[in-house]
Chains A and B, each alone.
Chain A
């Protein structure tokens, strides 16, 4: 058993990391985009001409899911699940797993809160259409933390691959 684990554990943990990144960041984006979508549909029932504007707000929390996908893809191609097979030690696998955590959890929570913020911003645009620029900045503030997490996840993955 322990031999089996020593041979295959690395790959398992790396894939677990990739799964975490897509899974949690994806959940966050789904919740955020869903909430913003409900608010956007409400605005459309009053004024269908605002479709282009509210769609942008609905898309804002979608990025975390994409960041998660990005990190998952980097891990999978580094450990050979996609492309050329590579030998992975248990330590490397665990490191990849750890590298996926920042975007997994920052993505989860920042997307939910960015979704809430987008809902409020959609309300702003519904009432004051010309305040689009300002309304766009507020949800974008939340995204900063997803970007920082993405940065650390990516730097860590590149770092592990170079080890």
Chain B
């Protein structure tokens, strides 16, 4: 239950230290810089847009170079590489790499240029290949394509659509102009689509033949060349090989630079960082020789930073407590409840004026998740998988780490509930023992028989337990509401909005439990005196709600109407409590589906074939069940927190603390502070 105390920090320093101070702030990542908009005769804003653009461009070059390297030399990534996080490098290494950024940037430009060259050559190859395609039909022609005839003859080189023989062509020429006599038609190539021909005629008949050819559908080819086709083909092939050679050369050039991959990654990070730092200049106000900046810092970090800045940069640092509405929120919780912060964040950050409910929520979160998932086998799988990842990937990103830790604890809780309910991969132990060994297994508590009770055999008991947990959850929510009211010194609200509902709901429950009718369901009845006590409690509570829940209204009639509406909220409590029946339903669903898969798997009996089938169905079935029920448990645990629990007290609306920090993709710099 904690939010870090925030302070407002103002830094005044000489302009020559501006770069150093911003670098320090970025590396430490503890200050959220706020835009300071002073513009007068002394202070102005520096426009760093051009610098930002330049660094962003350099970062993009590094990124493109990395993409090119990846294309020609695929980086091997494991299946779980997304959990790996950024690689930490030491400060010395960082400084060393910074010194060689110019060299790396040049390499990045080289790589991009090689790639561009490859692309150009590839485009040319495509062009030459289409020329090769065009020259193919003419290969058996032994004169150049632009051959027009000799002294006394005229040649026509071209094509007709469709498949034709020389006889067909002569016939169609004769049909158009029967006077043309001395014509020679050679079919060079023909297929379904076209017929390529070489037509020779005497000089005198050039014009009538030309006319006749046009009428019979003769076309001149698009491809023209002063060379003989076969020779031209050789030429084109030479060009293509030439281009291929250049591509290979460039590819080799690129491959030779593969060792630069990690440096290029650093380069991308470096320029992204630089661009962001220049973006921060927009938030400052500067005069000719000094600058001012303002922001928020968690109180526990402020002294260290103040001393450092004052010693190294001669800066003047001002700190003051900040508790305004705009102050950002940073949560601080212990290891057990911290992971649930991310769930809280998906709803909303708490307002400055209310308590951080994470610690209390975490306890219920793990309990509810465990009850809904409720299988020791599944819980173990989940906890072991998460534990393995936490141990293997130490540099996992903070957000992801939180989620993995949360599911680790959820897995632990699931295992405990599974043992209490006697579910281990459903009834796997009994099924395996009965089917394959023909013996009833010994009553191992937790794995075969439940330590507490089996909800499948006694669902009503589980239902009552779910409701009881629900009531505790809701009443805890009301208690936090009371805490918030006390914190804000609104003591009467505690009576009107919290105690009244404790009396009303608590009394109603007591009264209900002492009725015979409910006794059949719950399995027990309270002595009749509780009917009276509960009735009185509920009555008092109802009266308080009726008269005081509309207390903001001055008009008495309006106030009473509002009170009646407030009393109607009792139905909300009823549906809230009933909503916890999902603890039973989802728990049963997990358990029974697991049993279904075990039963289906064991249907083939105890032969070798049966064992193989069992293993297959066991593996796939339980994996499926884990997937779907873990999703269900996660979603519905969130729902119980967000709707039922938060509905009782949580307003939210706080702003998350977003410090100015290093937002890199590949590396983090270890800082010795």
Contact = CB atoms under 8 A, between A and B. Distances in A.
Real complex partners, A and B? yes
B638 interface: yes
Interface stretch (B2-10, B108-116, B577-585): B577-585
Contacts of A83: 599
B544 interface: no
Contacts of A137: 635, 638-639, 642-643
Interface string B629-667: 001100110110011000000000000000000000000
A136 interface: yes
Interface string A45-81: 0000000000010011011001101100110010000
A150 B635 CA distance: 17
B357 to A, nearest CB: 15
Given A70-B592, A151-B584, A133 B347 contact: yes
A150 B593 CA distance: 13
A120 interface: no
Interface residues of A, number: 31
A82 interface: yes
A22 to B, nearest CB: 12
Contacts of B599: 77, 82-83
Interface in A112-132: 131-132
Contacts of B345: 133
Interface in A126-163: 131-134, 136-137, 140-141, 143-144, 147-148, 150-151, 154-155, 158
A56 B638 contact: no
Range of interface residues on chain B?
20 to 34
Contact of B586 (A131, A141, A147): A147
Given A70-B596, A134-B347, A147-B582, A140 B636 contact: yes
B628 interface: yes
Contacts of B636: 140, 143, 147
Contact of B592 (A73, A131, A136, A147): A73
A134 B641 CA distance: 12
A58 to B, nearest CB: 11
Interface of B, secondary structure class, is helix
Contacts, number: 74
A148 B596 contact: no
Nearest to A62: B628
A74 B592 contact: yes
Nearest to A74: B592
Nearest to B345: A133
B381 interface: no
Contacts of A70: 589, 592-593, 596
Interface string B582-618: 1011101100110010010000000000000000000
Given A67-B589, A70-B589, A73-B592, A134 B631 contact: no
B638 A147 contact: no
B343 interface: yes
A123 B586 CA distance: 28
Interface in B449-468: 459-460, 463
Contacts of B581: 147-148, 151
A140 to B, nearest CB: 5
10 contacts: A60-B631, A60-B635, A70-B596, A131-B346, A133-B345, A133-B347, A134-B346, A141-B643, A151-B584, A154-B459
Given A69-B593, A143-B635, A154-B585, 9 more contacts: A73-B592, A82-B599, A83-B599, A133-B346, A133-B347, A137-B638, A140-B635, A140-B639, A148-B585
